[in-house]
Structure 1
């Protein structure tokens, strides 16, 4: 039986502004990437998201971003490796406190937006963040969004890393993602086909029709996709058909 994780970015609401469909999506996933309060989220949203994850036995991870609420953490900031490490440790500490309050633990780290891009482009920044993670908790897992980061993570002594794939976005032939300005409805059956292809064979069809290798053990689903629940329902139907086991990162890495 193949084991794979379904992760989703969560807790990105702020005050009276709502982002995503956390309550509807949470029952279908196995790991939640919870915003750490810099690019999105606030203390109340963090608490509510941790409570929701604990209720559904979903693994909890921090989704740290750059300090950029206005730009939703997607704008570049000139920061040193040490500064980015501190941003991650700060947000990790906040989420860890909420998790402990509810008898849970933080299992992983998955950087967001421009921070992720910075780590992908600069191994020095990536190593600083990863070593900072280990200094906080040497059981933490790094969820790697691309192969550049994954290769750096695998060279860090003592760090567990998992490569993630995407099924509700298209890939280019070079394995880079085609990120749209706004998410639109996706055909649930097509997305479910991609999920099965990655989970069982480690491959997916790129936008140009070429088959590319995606050696992922975790699949990200965008919770702010308009039909995210329909997509997840279709995936769960396929999981049962293809003898695929869904498991949180802590049981895979």
Structure 2
């Protein structure tokens, strides 16, 4: 059994450092790199690509809403055409940095509210999937398990990796509990690792209300801006190793 372990990184900006990228990169199998719209900047993008390429992990673009002040976690009423353009722009920018380092872009994972909205909005999901396909039809699209984005990706002919969040609580319908609600972010690393292992092995977890729900887990995410991110990744790796589960990125299309 294989599973991808990914982290959202490259979210520093100018003089401000966010996350422990240098420590986390060697412990995961793929990274999702901010592309300058919700976080990151060209210097950070280049440095993160270099670090990830040197570590031999899969490189992914992490496009978000154009919302630096809100970290891409606020709603924006983008039309499908606008969403397509913003995603294509960001994927292209990250791909250029990969090319300059002799690396290949492997996947795309939308960020924050763009990701969450596309999980439920078919028009937005199709616009994102079209942008990824037109950038490179061989890219893997990372999407919330069972979401509209996952369906749109497959419809567009993309390989889709369905994602499970180790550090986020789930609603009864399989979507993420909004960050503004209590206990939306899980801080107990041991619990997070045990729950992620259960998701991979059985495809089920309990929602925030205690209801059993089905989840798919081709790839497991931890957020780089979580204060316990490093502990999460270490415990996840240990749990998977003990269970005989290999950590590896999903194959490109």
State how far apart, in whole Å, the 2-side matches of 1:140 and 1:46 are. 19
State how far apart, in whole Å, the 1-side matches of 2:184 and 2:12 are. 17
Given that residues 170 and 207 in structure 1 are in contact (C-alpha distance below 8 angstroms), is that contact kept between their aligned partners in structure 2?
A: yes
Range that drifts further, 116-125 or 188-197: 116-125
Q: Aligned-pair RMSD on alpha carbons?
A: 1.8
Distance 1:207 1:25, change over 3 A: same
State how far apart, in whole Å, the 2-side matches of 1:117 and 1:19 are. 22
Superposed structure 1 runs of 4+ greater than 4 Å apart: 181-185
1:248 aligns with 2:249: yes
State how far apart, in whole Å, the 1-side matches of 2:137 and 2:92 are. 14
Q: How does 1:1-253 map to 2 (within 5 A)?
A: 2-146=1-145, 147-156=147-156, 158-181=157-180, 186-250=187-251
Relative to the length of structure 2, the TM-score reads 0.92
State how far apart, in whole Å, the 1-side matches of 2:109 and 2:53 are. 19
- Tell me how far 1:187 sits from its aligned partner: 2.2
- Tell me how far 1:183 sits from its aligned partner: 8.1
Given that residues 115 and 143 in structure 2 are in contact (C-alpha distance below 8 angstroms), is that contact kept between their aligned partners in structure 1?
A: no
State how far apart, in whole Å, the 1-side matches of 2:117 and 2:237 are. 34
Relative to the length of structure 1, the TM-score reads 0.92
Given that residues 123 and 149 in structure 1 are in contact (C-alpha distance below 8 angstroms), is that contact kept between their aligned partners in structure 2?
A: yes
Given that residues 118 and 124 in structure 2 are in contact (C-alpha distance below 8 angstroms), is that contact kept between their aligned partners in structure 1?
A: yes
State how far apart, in whole Å, the 2-side matches of 1:179 and 1:129 are. 21
- Tell me how far 1:40 sits from its aligned partner: 0.8
Range that drifts further, 179-188 or 66-75: 179-188
- Tell me how far 1:209 sits from its aligned partner: 2.3
Aligned to 1:221, what secondary structure does the other structure show? strand
How many residues in Structure 1 have an aligned counterpart in Structure 2? 250
State how far apart, in whole Å, the 2-side matches of 1:204 and 1:235 are. 16
Given that residues 183 and 224 in structure 1 are in contact (C-alpha distance below 8 angstroms), is that contact kept between their aligned partners in structure 2?
A: no
- Tell me how far 1:143 sits from its aligned partner: 0.4
Q: What are the Cα deviations for residues 190-221 of structure 1, in whole angstroms up to 9, with x where unaligned?
A: 11111210111111122222221111200111
Q: What are the Cα deviations for residues 88-137 of structure 1, in whole angstroms up to 9, with x where unaligned?
A: 11111111111011111111111112222332343122212212221221
Q: What are the Cα deviations for residues 37-95 of structure 1, in whole angstroms up to 9, with x where unaligned?
A: 11111000001100111111111111101211111122222322111111111111111
